[in-house]
Amino acid sequence: MSLIVSTKKFLDETGNIAKFTGRFFSVGIRPHYEIKEFLNQCYIIGYKSFPLIALTSFIMGLVLTMQLRPSLVSYGVESQLPVMVGLAIVREIGPVITALIFAGKIGSSIGAELGSMKVTEQIDAMEVSGIKPVKYLVATRVIATTLMLPILTILGDAVSLFGAYLGVNIRSVTSFDLFFRQVFKSLAYGDVAPAVLKTLFFGFAVGIVGCYKGFNSSKGTQGVGISANSSVVLSSVLIFIIDLLAVQVTEILGLN
């Protein structure tokens, strides 16, 4: 019986998210556009998230290099360390880790912010005053997350590769020019393009889930906390699902 109830809740939630996404496409992307609010969200979502993304990416590149090096040394292929680290970061680790950090910071922020507006009836007041909440609140945030996450991923990959370069030089000496020449020589269009493209979908998922959870927050401060928490959880799950689908598509298209 509990399985049936859980399945029903899952299907209801999936249908509601799909309906909410349909509202975004039918209302949110039509003129006129809230350019000022959109730019403000880009600043908050993109610029203010970069320090956390950069710190995480730097540590990730440094630790990954230090962990891989002993294994490569034991097989006598230490010279391939820049190539392996570069491919791992650009193709998979960089986009996914950046998206998960982004979901934790921005997904929870959007869910809590819109949830607070919902429980204090600010969203209802906007509708009464003639302002469309979907256009002003949802569209600006979803488009900002969709556009900012790929940029943050590219910057995060660059910082991560710099951390990897420092990690290589802890035990040996490799010039900056030689390290990055090896990295970029190993990268192809099929490595970079799918990795950046899937972050668009990651960003869209984080934005739409955060807005949906905020808009459907229950009454009280406890409901705001639940909205913020569930935004992160659901966004993270969707990121892994989208990543799995992206890998399958790139394999079918022969880009791997």
Dihedral (CA of 246, 110, 217, 32) sign: negative
Q: How far apart are the first and last CA of the chain?
A: 44
What's the token pair of residue 158?
């660059």
Identify whether the C-beta of residue 194 lies closer than 8 Å to the C-beta of residue 250: yes
Report the SS3 class of residue 24: helix
What's the token pair of residue 132?
């469309």
Dihedral (CA of 112, 117, 119, 120) sign: positive
Exposure string of 143-172, with b = 16+ CB inside 10 Å and e = fewer, is bbbbbbbbbbbbbbbbbbbbbbbebbeeee
- Model's pTM, two decimal places? 0.91
State residue 1's pLDDT score. 54
Q: pLDDT in tens for each of the 256 residues of the chain?
A: 577 777 888 788 889 899 999 988 888 777 888 889 999 999 999 999 999 999 999 999 999 999 888 888 888 777 888 889 999 999 999 999 999 999 999 999 999 999 988 888 888 888 888 778 888 899 999 999 999 999 999 999 999 999 999 988 887 888 889 899 999 888 888 888 899 999 999 999 999 999 999 988 877 778 888 888 999 999 999 999 999 999 888 888 776 6
Please choose, from the candidates 230, 232, 218, the residue with its C-alpha nearest in 3D space to the C-alpha of residue 116. Answer: 218
State residue 224's pLDDT score. 86
Instruction: Give a three-class secondary structure readout of 150-163.
Output: HHHHHHHHHHHHHH
Please choose, from the candidates 223, 227, 211, the residue with its C-alpha nearest in 3D space to the C-alpha of residue 45. Answer: 211
Q: Is 203 exposed, middle or buried (0-12, 13-18, 19+ CB in 10 A)?
A: buried
The amino acid present at 27, given as its one-letter code, is V
What's the token pair of residue 244?
């799995």
Domain residue extents for the chain: 34-252
Diameter of the chain by CA atoms?
Answer: 70
Identify whether the C-beta of residue 110 lies closer than 8 Å to the C-beta of residue 217: no
The amino acid present at 243, given as its one-letter code, is D
